[in-house]
Chain A
């Protein structure tokens, strides 16, 4: 499960690609958390642009990172989620984490 992580002054961006399921959520979580815990960003951006499949393990991943960032008084934002992944996110009511552009699209689905 590849994830590329960009760290700048105030934010950490995780570009996730491939499939997110229970099997590979663990590695993803560890890599993202390591970056967050090393740099204490104000904003964690989870970029789902390269994700081709996601089940509820992805929701667990987002909710877990949301809690982590809340503990650091930071925020989480979701970028570039494909339609099928938004559909899973809608089930969990976490569309509020979608970026503005994503939200407009989600409302058209």
Chain B
């Protein structure tokens, strides 16, 4: 299936870019006339994925984050978000609700749960030492309603 529109973003894994990344994806999707809830869902899921790259993938070192967003016939949006960071050894464990490797007590361990429930589909692939990629899918059904 060929996309009807696509865009790519490459940016540094600085936390100030979290807001830029979700806003840019939201602006790209805006052409499909999503309602407020759909756009919030997408922004939240993108924010979780990008934060994971920064906090876990690169562990606060500066690396590059790659976003590739595509729109397909039927208002289907597919967003891939990748890093070339440390990767995840046990994806199933990482995806468990409330599981976190963060020891400060300030991370809830809900990133993947939110991506999963706010989007229609979530796919995670990872190789230790190579990086992690998530693919998020959502069909915009509201047409602004």
Contacts and interface: CB of A to CB of B under 8 A. Distances in A.
Interface string A70-94: 0000000000000110011001100
A92 B40 contact: no
B116 to A, nearest CB: 10
Contacts of B18: 21-23
A54 B114 CA distance: 11
Contacts of A56: 48, 51, 107-108, 110-111, 114
B40 to A, nearest CB: 4
Which one of B22, B107, B117 has the greatest number of beta carbons of chain A within 10 Å? B107
B51 A92 contact: no
A53 B44 CA distance: 8
B113 to A, nearest CB: 6
A53 B48 CA distance: 12
A9 to B, nearest CB: 29
Interface string B49-85: 0010011000000000000000000000000000000
A92 B117 CA distance: 12
Contacts of A91: 110, 113-114, 117
Provide the main secondary structure of the chain A interface. Answer: helix
B106 interface: yes
Contact of B106 (A54, A60, A84): A60
B19 interface: yes
27 contacts: A21-B18, A21-B47, A21-B51, A22-B15, A22-B51, A22-B54, A22-B55, A23-B16, A29-B106, A53-B47, A55-B47, A55-B48, A56-B110, A56-B111, A57-B106, A60-B105, A60-B106, A61-B106, A63-B106, A63-B108, A64-B105, A64-B106, A67-B105, A84-B40, A91-B113, A91-B117, A92-B108
Given A22-B54, A60-B107, 15 more contacts: A22-B18, A22-B47, A53-B40, A55-B48, A55-B114, A56-B51, A61-B106, A63-B106, A64-B105, A84-B40, A84-B44, A87-B37, A88-B44, A91-B114, A92-B110
Interface of A: 19, 21-23, 25, 29, 53-57, 59-61, 63-64, 67, 83-84, 87-88, 91-92
